[in-house]
Amino acid sequence: MDPGTAPRASSTPAEKVAPTPGEVGVRRLAASDSFAEITSLLHRAYAKQIARGMRPLAGRQTEDVTRERAANSECWVATITDAGREKIVGVILLDEQEQAKLPPFFQQAHVSHFAQFGVDPEVQGRGIGRQLLEVVERRAREKGAAELALSMAEPDTDLADFYAKRGYAFVEHWQWPYTNYRSCILSKKL
């Protein structure tokens, strides 16, 4: 994993300016980032699914699993500067290579996929998820992908609506070995 940073989504490629207080920045995971902080964020982000009886991996994974998943993907984080400290408020993985068998659609050469997408509930509704998605969509195009796919819990109809509004459409069903629900594989042409 290359822990280098990328410019904020709103900056030009040559700029590397720290976000002003309250401003959202998106960058690659850095070696100094806290996996405990990211794991806690994911547990909060997936708490609604857990409360509904679903068992998404990101909503219950350990800090070690968070570290492993980040190491096996391109990991991006969204940050907000608060009281002089950069706080991680969102995370997304691009092209995670995991031990579990991937859905057939993910295995096609023209497809990139993202996973472990979460934004802290305290700051949802501020466009942070949109910024993270824009970064992975751009990165997928840069890597030569023609489509960007994801896996989501079929019972979560609110989440399905979120993705439908962003141009993602159903491709196939999939059952991960570590969840207790059927997943929907969605994809968007880039």
Residue 43's alpha-carbon distances to 18, 118, 163, in angstroms, are: 27, 9, 21
- What is d(CA 119, CA 116) in angstroms, rounded to the nearest whole number? 10
Q: What is the pLDDT of residues 5-14, one digit of tens each?
A: 333 333 333 3
Identify whether 170 is part of a domain: yes
- Domain membership flag for residue 40: yes
**Residue 149: which domain range?**
24-189
Q: Tell me the pTM.
A: 0.86
Residue 13 lies in a domain: no
Examine residue 114 and state whether it is found in any structural domain, yes or no: yes
Gyration radius of the chain's alpha carbons: 16
Strands (DSSP E) found in the chain: 24-28, 74-82, 85-94, 111-119, 147-153, 169-174, 183-189
Q: From 140, 148, 138, 144, select the one nearest 168 (Cα to Cα).
A: 148
d(CA 8, CA 20): 12
Kindly report the backbone phi and psi dihedral angles of residue 67, in degrees, each rounded to the nearest multiple of 5, phi listed first: -60, -45
Q: Which tens digit of pLDDT belongs to each residue from 16-56?
A: 344 556 788 999 999 999 999 999 999 999 999 999 999 99
Q: Is the pLDDT confidence value at 114 over 70?
A: yes
What is the domain-level CATH number for residue 183? 3.40.630.30
Note whether residue 127 is domain-resident.
Answer: yes
Contact 81, 19 (CB under 8 A): yes
Q: Is residue 76 part of a domain?
A: yes
User: Is residue 121 assigned to a domain?
Assistant: yes
What's the domain count of the chain? 1
Residue 126 domain-assigned? yes
